[in-house]
Structure 1
Amino acid sequence: MGNLGRSFSPHAQAWGAGSGTGPEARLRRRLSTLDDIERRARRRIPRFAFDFLEGGTGNDLNTLRNRQALDAVQLVPRYGMPAPVRTEVELFGINCAMPIGISPVGVDGIVWPGATRIFAAAAGKLRIPYIAGTLATASIEEVAELAGPYGWFQLYGLPADDHSVTFDLVRRAGAAGVHVLAATLDAPVRSKRPRDLRNGLVVPFRPTAKTIFDVASSPLWLLALARAGTPAFRNMERYVEKPATLAKTAGFVQSQIKGTFSWDSVKRIRDAWSGALVVKGVLHPADAEQAIAVGVDGILVSNHGGRQLDAAPAAIDVLPAIAATVGTRATVLFDSGIRSGLDVARAITLGARGTFAGRAFLLGLGALGERGAGYVAGLLKEELETAMGQLGAPSLDALPQLTFRHRDAFDFT
Structure 2
Amino acid sequence: MSMDPNATETASGIVGIEAPPSSAGILETLGPGLVTGAADDDPSGIATYSQVGAQFGYGLAWTMLFSFPLMVAIQAVAARIGCVTGHGIAHNLRRHYPKWLLRGVICLLLVANVINLGADVGAMGAAVGLLIGGPERVYTVLLGIVCILLETFMSYARYSAVLKWATLCLFTYVGVVFTAHVPWGTALHGTFIPQFKFDAAHAMGLVAVLGTTISPYLFFWQAGQEVEELHRRHIKPLCITPRNAGRELSRIRTDTMVGMGVSNLIGLFIIFATAATLNANGVTEIQTSAQAAEALRPVAGEFTFALFAIGIISTGMLAVPVMAGSAAYGVSELFSWRQGLDCKLREAKAFYATIAVATLGGVALNFTSIDPIKALYWSAVVNGMLAAPLMAVMMVMAMNPHIMGRLTLPRPMLIVGWMATFVMALATIGFLVI
For the criterion TM > 0.5, the same-fold answer is: no
Q: Which has the higher contact order (CA 8 A, sep 6+)?
A: 2
TM-score, length-scaled by structure 2: 0.28
Compare the two structures and name the one with the higher helix fraction.
Answer: 2
TM-score, length-scaled by structure 1: 0.29
Compare the two structures and name the one with the higher strand fraction.
Answer: 1
